[in-house]
Amino acid sequence: MRLPNALRLPTALAFACTVALTTQPTLAVAQGAAARHAIIPAPNRVELRTGTFTITDSTPVFIAADASDDVERVGRQLATMLGPGAPRAPRRLPESVSPPAGAIRLVASERLDDLGAEGYLLDIRSNGVVISAREAAGLFYGVQSLRQLLPWSIEHRAALNRRLTLPVGEIRDVPRFVWRGAMLDVARHFLPPADVKRYMDVMALYKLNVLHLHLADDQGWRIEILSRPNLTRHGGSTQVGGGPGGFYTQAEYRDLVAYAAARHITIVPEIDMPGHTNAALASYPELTCDGVAPPLYTGIRVGFSAVCPDKETTYTFVEDVVRELAELTPTPYLHLGGDEVEKLTTAQYRAFVERVEGIVRAQGKVMIGWGEIAPANLDRSTIVQHWRSDARASRDSAHLHAARGGSVIMSPGNRTYLDMKYDSSTVLGLRWAGLISVQHAYSWEPSTFLPRVPAERVLGVEAPLWAETLEKRADYEYLAFPRLIAIAELGWSEPKVRGWDGFRARLAEHGPRLQALGVNYYRSPEIPWK
């Protein structure tokens, strides 16, 4: 997953930016011609026409009188984004009553079953807007498309003389994959909660719905486990290159989970094992086979550590960690790593994976692991995450899990690893999986990337960002954006509406938006930035 042996702005960004506009939309409607759009990910069907709908400071947002709390949250987010001042609540209206002209209405209806859990319809007319979906998540994504149809100035709190216009038209959109993810490595270097929230804000804008947090590795343990306090007290006290390290308290982690849920993002915590465990071994020497604690580690070499697979104390430890993580994480998944284990025999490794899978399932969770776990005797509900794509790719056995009916997440290193350099001049990042330009990150097909994994077994895509060379939020953003935006389109949009030329033209329009959001993105020369 890494180099072998060598590595939704502020919290309010997603919606609470009360903004006014000084410019007309870059998506201005040409008289006598259809409007163009710069929505990313590309919607499945877009029909924009001449004419506009104008939003003023008094434009109301309506929801049904009996709308759920989740729908009300989306309505509040939309109203706050559009209106000045303090956060605003949407107005409730009986479904049988039509809203007044000039209003925006959010409609959640079980009758829209063909849209699935995340699809939406966006109908913009000169006298009003309706966003319809089966569930609140679909409404949320419809709001993101509406947001991207507005000028970039919507993201800027300091803009004055607001004037918002939308092109008239209809969008019908349903995501291709249910798993559209990003991964943050907060173990090599610790990333404070506010910075993780910022990352989620931008994820939400581009309809990504999974944040995989790599919470423990050789260099640091980043999540408080009450039954094992030395994990953070000692194991979390440093990071790559030294430094103070850090960790999330359980209260901070619960807050991240809630923040993600409000943006329809699922948090997936990862505790890598049986390898990548030096921080744990240094904290609890009974996890080693000789009972001797190794020193804390601040380098980037991999493969040298492993818990002792033959001691019951190891599995007691795993049970403690899994139990507390399961209690903290109401979402379905726990990621238990399983990659780059050089210290165990094949038999020891597979026995460990199978026993840990049983521990995870006993807590009512679905286990996820990196591609190396596939040869073990796994339950078909377990998910395998493919990552190898270099000369060692033949060692990845994701097809074995697919053959038993299991699902595979596509994270090939030479396409999705955001810690790889853009080109030979990039200062940050690594290059063991190759140089990954924006076009290279965009121009591949997840459903056919592994010939022996059928398309129906591909759950979706995920872009990991490993942090060997990343020390601060600006570093993470520089390597992630705009490549994560490219991965977002691969995860959402059908192949028939994708294409590099169209994507780069739409992405060019997002330069001012990313700047307004304060994102430290890489101005790739491949993109004709506005």
**How do residues 329-350 score in pLDDT, each as one tens digit?**
999 999 999 999 999 999 999 9
Average pLDDT over residues 106-129: 97
- Encode pLDDT of 487-515 as tens digits: 999 999 999 999 999 999 999 999 999 99
Q: Is 340 a catalytic residue?
A: yes
Alpha carbons 411 and 487: distance in angstroms, whole number: 10
**61-75, 112-126, 187-201, 387-401: lowest mean pLDDT where?**
387-401
Question: Would you place residue 162 in the very low, low, confident or very high pLDDT band (cuts 50, 70, 90)?
Answer: low
DSSP tag of 306: B
Alpha carbons 228 and 389: distance in angstroms, whole number: 36
Residue type at position 162: R
pLDDT at 84 over 90: no
Question: Would you place residue 36 in the very low, low, confident or very high pLDDT band (cuts 50, 70, 90)?
Answer: confident
Q: What are phi and psi of 88, to 5 degrees?
A: -115, 150
pLDDT at 237 over 60: yes
pLDDT at 325 over 50: yes
pLDDT at 161 over 90: no
* CA 370 to chain centroid: 17
Among 23-27, 157-161, 504-508, top mean pLDDT goes to 504-508
- Residue 401 in tokens: 């899990």
Residues 6+ apart with CB under 8 A from 191: 184, 467, 473, 476
The total of other beta-carbon atoms located within 10 Å of residue 259's CB is: 20
Question: Would you place residue 33 in the very low, low, confident or very high pLDDT band (cuts 50, 70, 90)?
Answer: very low
Its pTM stands at 0.93
pLDDT of residue 158: 61
- Environment class of 291 (CB within 10 Å of its CB; exposed 0-12, middle 13-18, buried 19+): exposed
Q: What is the dihedral of CA 466, 472, 478, 481, to 10 degrees?
A: 70
pLDDT of residue 157: 62
Residue type at position 302: V
**44-58, 117-131, 310-324: lowest mean pLDDT where?**
44-58
* The residue to which tokens 């800027």 are assigned: 156
Q: What are phi and psi of 16, to 5 degrees?
A: -85, 10
pLDDT of residue 377: 98
pLDDT of residue 56: 83
pLDDT of residue 286: 98
Alpha carbons 76 and 422: distance in angstroms, whole number: 39
Alpha carbons 294 and 283: distance in angstroms, whole number: 9
Average pLDDT over residues 303-327: 98
- Encode pLDDT of 453-471 as tens digits: 999 999 999 999 999 999 9
Q: Provide the percentage of residues in the chain whose pLDDT is more than 70.
A: 90
- Residue 415 in tokens: 């396409």
- Average per-residue pLDDT in the chain? 91
Which of the pair, 18 or 54, is modelled with greater confidence?
A: 54
Angle 206-207-209 from CA coordinates, rounded to 5° = 130
pLDDT at 189 over 60: yes
pLDDT of residue 16: 34
Residue of 155, 340, 462, 477 marked active site: 340
Residue type at position 82: L
Alpha carbons 216 and 220: distance in angstroms, whole number: 6
pLDDT of residue 23: 32
- Which run of H or of E encompasses 197? helix 193-205
Question: Would you place residue 160 in the very low, low, confident or very high pLDDT band (cuts 50, 70, 90)?
Answer: low
**151-160, 166-175, 459-468: lowest mean pLDDT where?**
151-160
- Which run of H or of E encompasses 398? helix 398-403
pLDDT of residue 86: 62
pLDDT of residue 27: 39
The total of other beta-carbon atoms located within 10 Å of residue 471's CB is: 17
pLDDT at 25 over 60: no
pLDDT of residue 96: 87
